[in-house]
Homo-oligomer: A and B are copies of this chain.
Amino acid sequence: MGRPMAQNLIQAGHQLAFFTRRPEVAAEFAAAGARAAESPAAAARDAEFIVTIVTADAEVREVILGPGGVAEGAAGAVLIDMSTIGPWTAREIGAELAARDIAMLDAPVSGGPWGAAAGTLSIMVGGDPEVFGRARNVLEAMGDPAKIFHVGPLGAGQTVKLINQMLGGAIMALVGEAFVLGRAAGVDLDQLADVVAVSSGNSAVFEARGKKFVLADNYQPGFKTALMRKDVGLALELGRQLAVPLPVAAAAFQQYAAALRLGHAEDDFAAVAKVYEQTTGLKLATKST
């Protein structure tokens, strides 16, 4: 995700210093005119805005607050963390940054690699409204201006993102249930997909991943099963912290554990449908691949 987002920042005319552990990405950015830095701190030095996007809570902490982290070089700057993490982690980091005179926005995205490449991501932003106003220009280089939402104080961006993921991840499991029930009952799954697409059972996930992934037996990500499981897991952890019963999402989350165990961590999260194949002996694909 970070790669096309950085390219869009460069193309929008921003002066970019960057830190990455992947040499091929470094070469590409350098070729585009960005300055390589030897550490997150070095990349952050003298920057007005700092953008971080990594995978998990511990990594976000490390790249921001760890040795050589951006916090060392960023007094006076605005840090925009676009990773998907727990809102509690965002708030904890924000408190530590505030003590060093660094403002923080949490700004997770939705839209996948395709949206990142096209610069049409939706962005859910939590943090001080005034800081959000200042950062808007930077955010608009990466996302669709009509889909950049300021949703509340620091952490609110993560909360909204996790809720969206909880919906998408759980609906995907339901889509697996719909197809496996249809297969067992002997109906034509392509026709089933056509009917649902124009009926009340339709969803963004069904449209994007029903025919094109499950029925095509195509699990090239897209958005990986391991990441969707992480996100739905964070939503459930939020539910645990707040004592909110989420029985349907919790049932769906368990299917992702099986998906991981069955070897689909790196496949698109549509592979949660494979769990239903495994527990029924039925095949869902309508096309050979």
Contacts and interface: CB of A to CB of B under 8 A. Distances in A.
Interface of A: 87, 110-112, 122, 124, 146-147, 149, 151-152, 156, 159-160, 163-168, 170-171, 173-175, 177-178, 180-182, 184-188, 191-192, 194-196, 198-206, 208, 233, 235, 238-240, 242-255, 257-258, 260-262, 275-276, 278-281
A166 B181 contact: yes
A275 to B, nearest CB: 7
Given A151-B192, A188-B152, A204-B199, A245 B122 contact: no
Given A149-B194, A178-B166, A279-B262, A187 B159 contact: yes
Instruction: Please state the number of chain copies in the assembly.
Output: 4
A95 to B, nearest CB: 17
Q: Please indicate which of the listed interface residues A239, A254, A262, A275 has the most CB atoms of chain B within 10 Å of its own CB.
A: A254
B192 A163 contact: yes
A198 B122 contact: yes
A248 B200 contact: no
A196 to B, nearest CB: 5
Contact of A244 (B122, B146, B184): B184
A161 to B, nearest CB: 8
B262 A199 contact: no
Given A166-B181, A174-B248, A262-B279, 11 more contacts: A156-B186, A159-B181, A160-B182, A163-B196, A171-B171, A184-B243, A203-B203, A247-B254, A250-B250, A250-B254, A257-B280
